[in-house]
Amino acid sequence: MIVTVTMNPAIDKTVDIDALERGGLNRIHHVELDAGGKGINVSKTIHALGGESIAVGFIAGNSGKIIRGVMDEWKIENDFIEVSGETRTNTKVFEKSGELTELNEPGPIVEEKDVQALLGKLEGYAGEDTLFVLAGSIPKGVSKDIYRRIIELVHEKGAKVLLDADGELFTNALDAGPDIIKPNKVELEQYAGMDYIASEQELLAVAKKMMAKGIQTIAVSMGKSGAMFLQEGYQVKCPGLRVKAHSTVGAGDAMVAALSYSWSKGLSREETVKMCMAVSAGAVTTIGTKPPAREVVDSLLEQVVIEKIR
């Protein structure tokens, strides 16, 4: 069972324009609305791949009702906690040049009683056959050690955790030893205190140190350059696949979904790596944060090249 946790979901509004004119009139050619937030994106992609998950987190107000409605329409099981306020809307402005500008709202303020309700819900789902996906930002009112607390809580029940976060959330959670992590290149550089573009070998060294904290699988996404994958006694890299990109938004979430789906299906290391590369490449061809169709993913699987890192 996969449980995705989205603390700070959103309505993702993607608009297409020619070029952003600051202080002037911008005419929109196309608007796309999606139920979003990292964990929700992961659940949508797992569903598109033919898998199942339960989407959990906080929703608020009319926007929250829309998100629940979308998940029900997709027939994705969900168990959200309703809180006061209004779920945020994140606007993504996509220019013809490929430039992306994101305007993210803060979201509702969550009270401690709501946090406790969520922890109780997650503990109820926890078991040896459960993978929790902890992804994305947190709303106001939630402490930055929340992912660490969740990891410690569900590990006691034998559950596994996949972490996809950055900054303090990421650093705090690492001490609890998540089972799988998916940092991108920049997040790894920031974690290591690198104020420059790190080499592949430097990133590899940082990732190896992380594995000493009990992490079993590390996937490092590197945009057009591809990705690196590490497990005990296994370290490989894959060049990025050549696809016609519409937007890179959601590519990282797609890789998290592929990691989760592969775990649930018991796929081999090589099958998991190929799935990650194909799903993330497929995601950049879609509009907004929509997941790639399974037939697109299957066609891309054949293009994945796995190289050993020496």
Q: Which amino acid is it at 163?
A: L
* Distance from C-alpha of 151 to C-alpha of 160, rounded to nearest angstrom: 8
Give me the catalytic one of 34, 114, 179, 253: 253
Element (H, E) at 258: helix 251-265
Residue 289 tokens, joined: 């944060």
Beta strand 234-238 with 227-231 is antiparallel
Contacts of 107 (CB under 8 A, 6+ apart): 8, 10, 60, 85, 86, 87, 88, 139, 140
Locate tokens 């509004």: which residue?
Answer: 13
Q: What distances in angstroms separate CA 76 from CA 70, 92, 194, 226, one per listed residue?
A: 9, 25, 40, 30
> Around 100, how many Cα atoms within 13 Å sit in the side-chain half-sphere?
16
* Distance from C-alpha of 67 to C-alpha of 74, rounded to nearest angstrom: 11
Is residue 298 annotated as part of the catalytic site, yes or no? no
* Distance from C-alpha of 42 to C-alpha of 252, rounded to nearest angstrom: 9
* Distance from C-alpha of 150 to C-alpha of 169, rounded to nearest angstrom: 12
Residue 105 tokens, joined: 């709202």
* Distance from C-alpha of 234 to C-alpha of 139, rounded to nearest angstrom: 37
| Short-list 108, 91, 44, CA closest to 71 | 44
Residue 223 tokens, joined: 């945009």
- Bridge partners, 102 (sequence order): 92
Residues marked as catalytic: 253
